[in-house]
Structure 1
Amino acid sequence: MQQQIALGKQPHIIVGTPGRLMDHLTNTKGFSLSMLKYLVKKLQRACLRNPVKIEAAQKYSTVDTLKQHYRFVAAKNKDCFHVYILIQMSGCTSMVFTRTCDQTRLLSLLLRDRNVKAVFISGQMTQANRLESLNKFKSGQYNVLVCTDVAGRGLDIPSVDMVIKYDIPTNPKIGLYIFHTLKKHAFCYSTK
């Protein structure tokens, strides 16, 4: 009865065994999966007819040693959380990908203000300045490189420990390319 009352309040997330879920579908008045957006693990076999499975093509898959993390944070906390992650991983080399040239500059200034050694590359810089920033990162003078998604397609830096997608990629192929050769950590942020 307590579960029926809880389900009547239309929770955002329901965790349960397939058998219990089927029992509520059969016996709990008004409970259905008609508003369901996501169904996790093997429950789709018990509840859905002709489900569609979507997965990335094998050529876009990542290496087995990569640990991918996705963080859903409030927009007002995004910068704070980003700085926190980079400070916690301060011994690592990190690349941060943003959507715009202005974001690369502002984010690197924010990080420097918090004593994180960050340098940026953007399309608004001269080629000489871009190479200078890249060389500072490769030499270890700076351990964080902030750049746009577009710049990420042309960079090949095998010694990077962590990649952070500051924004969800608008083009999924760009995001997958960035994570393709990375071996350790990858973070992606989304805001509400």
Structure 2
Amino acid sequence: GVNEALCDVIASLQWRAPTAIQVEAIPLALSGRDVIGLAETGSGKTAAFALPIIQALLDGEAHPNFALVLTPTRELAIQIQEQFQALGKPLGVRTICLVGGLHKTDQAIVLSKRQHHVIIATPGRLADHLADTKGFDLRRLRFLVLDEADRILNMDFEDSLTKILKELPRDRRTFLFSATMTKKVAKLQRASLRDPVKVEVSGKYSTVDKLSQYYLFIPAKLKDHYLAYLLHQLSGSTIVFTHTRLQASRVALLLRALGFSAVPLHGQMAQNKRIAALNKFRARDRGILVATDVASRGLDIPHVDNVLNFDLSSNVKDYVHRVGRTARAGRPGKSVTFVTQYDVMLYMEVERAIGKKLPLYEVNRDEVVRLGDQVGVRIH
């Protein structure tokens, strides 16, 4: 059902076959239904809603504020805008990205020109513009997309979301995409969708087959030593996940001191620095990205070869999304999770949820000890 003009754009992007969520969701969306899409990370969800929206723009009256995509993080919003531009720019589709960390007045000036068809936004910044930006409203909106809905609701955006939904016309189409169907997401579904079709293409906590997952049981005080050892052993680009912003900054500084090309990414960084960090990693200018869970969802960087869980994620969903940053688009990938004496119960929960026991990653303990002297000097 995708029209010829869009098919030509898809062919130019060398997309040869649709993903499972695209096969299920796109025909339903094109037929006029509201859609709930449940799919694992890296499943191609963005195109599943972008293509029907762009086709509707081409088929009907292309007016400002035609579609709104709400998403939880700035990085994901920017990435969604990039995908809309890749698919829609050759066809004249114009987009705007409204996120925090960038100058709100500049965004308001662009909004006042009313030249954009698709708004991609984080809920907090959009709610601010609806309250403060003169002449900006969403009364003619035709499409609403709630992307990563479970995470939007887990990040305390409920108040902003309530304000936004009150401003939207009832006569609209709504697509809700989420990794899992939580009670909060079900409540949001009842509030914002009309007779939706539910599409589910994966199990609750599934990971892709080409991902090789391992664990490493180590003393907490030697985590830095083992990290340095693994980064010497592994080839290719690597994301190192930490639990806190402070830890991400500390580990990135340590790795630089040890001669690795590492860059941090966390929520306390200024937006321009976050974008710069991602761009350096995407362009392979930096081989290691040290990040909090701000990078665990949605970021599509196909060349990530390894994921190291330096700090074990606080829940199973985050674990699945973290390791989903590698083994994307049919490529192989490897993940290694550090398990200390304090993480055993949490790690057992992960194994229970994903339904498999992970193999132990083999290391040369003598080599770790040798590297430990070098790491110890850098730490102190």
How far apart are 1:148 and its partner, in Å? 0.2
What is the TM-score of this pair, normalised by structure 1?
0.67
Alignment match, 1:9: none
Change (3 A) 1:60 1:148: same
Match of 1:88 among 221, 230, 233: 233
Q: Give the deviation of 1:66 after TM superposition.
A: 1.1
Tell whether 2:316 aligns with 1:167: no
Q: 2:290 aligns with which of 117, 125, 146?
A: 146
Aligned to 1:186: 335
Query: Deviations for 1:72-123, whole angstroms, at most 9, x for unmatched residues?
Result: 100111110011101111x310001111000110000111111111001111
How far did residue 154 of structure 1 move?
Answer: 4.1
Q: Where do 1:34-49 residues align within 5 Å? A: none
Contact kept? 1:94, 1:160, Cα under 8 Å: yes
2:244 corresponds in structure 1 to 100
Between the aligned partners of 2:287 and 2:205, the Cα distance in structure 1 is 27
**Contact 1:63 1:181 (C-alpha < 8 Å) held by counterparts:** no
Q: 1:154 to 1:87 in 2, by over 3 A?
A: same
**Pairs aligned (count):** 135
1:67 to 199, 202, 212: 212
Alpha-carbon distance in structure 2 between the residues aligned to 1:93 and 1:99? 20
Q: Give the Å deviation of 1:139.
A: 0.8
> Aligned partner of 1:94: which letter?
T
What letter is aligned with 2:335?
A
Distance 1:180 1:101 in 2: 21
Question: 1:172 deviation in Å?
Answer: 1.0
Aligned CA distance change for structure 1 residues 181 and 105 (closer, same or farther; 3 Å): closer
Given the superposition, is the C-alpha separation of residues 130 and 181 from structure 1 closer, same or farther in structure 2, using an over 3 Å criterion? closer
Structure 2 stretches lacking a partner, 5+ long: 1-201, 328-332, 342-380
The structure with the largest helix share of the pair is: 2
Q: CA deviation at 1:149?
A: 1.6
- Secondary structure at the aligned position of 1:64 is classed as coil
Task: Tell me, yes or no, if structure 1 residue 58 matches structure 2 residue 203.
Answer: yes
Q: Secondary structure at the match of 1:60?
A: coil
* Residues 162 and 185, structure 1, Cα contact 8 Å, conserved in 2: yes
Residues 97 and 148 of structure 1 are in contact (CA less than 8 Å); yes or no, is this contact kept in structure 2? yes
**Tell me, what secondary structure is at the counterpart of 1:87?**
helix
1:191 to 1:115, Cα distance in 2 relative to 1, 3 A: same
Q: SS where residue 141 of structure 1 aligns?
A: coil
Report 1 or 2 for greater relative contact order, CA contacts < 8 Å, sequence distance ≥ 6: 1
| Correspondence for 2:266 | 122
Are residues 64 and 96 of structure 1, via their aligned partners in 2, closer, same or farther at CA, if it must alter by over 3 Å? Answer: same
Assess if the C-alpha contact under 8 Å between 1:121 and 1:133 holds in 2. yes
- What runs of 5+ residues in structure 1 fail to find an aligned partner? 1-56
Question: How far 1:155 moved relative to its partner?
Answer: 2.0
Q: d(CA) in 2 for partners of 1:151 and 1:185?
A: 17
CA distance, structure 2, for counterparts of residue 109 and residue 142 of structure 1: 13
Distance in 1, Cα, partners of 2:276 & 2:325:
24
Distance 1:107 1:179 in 2: 19
Aligned alpha-carbon RMSD (Å): 1.4
Note the C-alpha offset of 1:177: 1.5
Give per-residue Cα distances to partners, 1:149-187, cap 9 Å, x unaligned: 233224221210000111111121011112235221001
Matched, 1:156 2:300: yes
| Counterpart AA for 1:190 | V
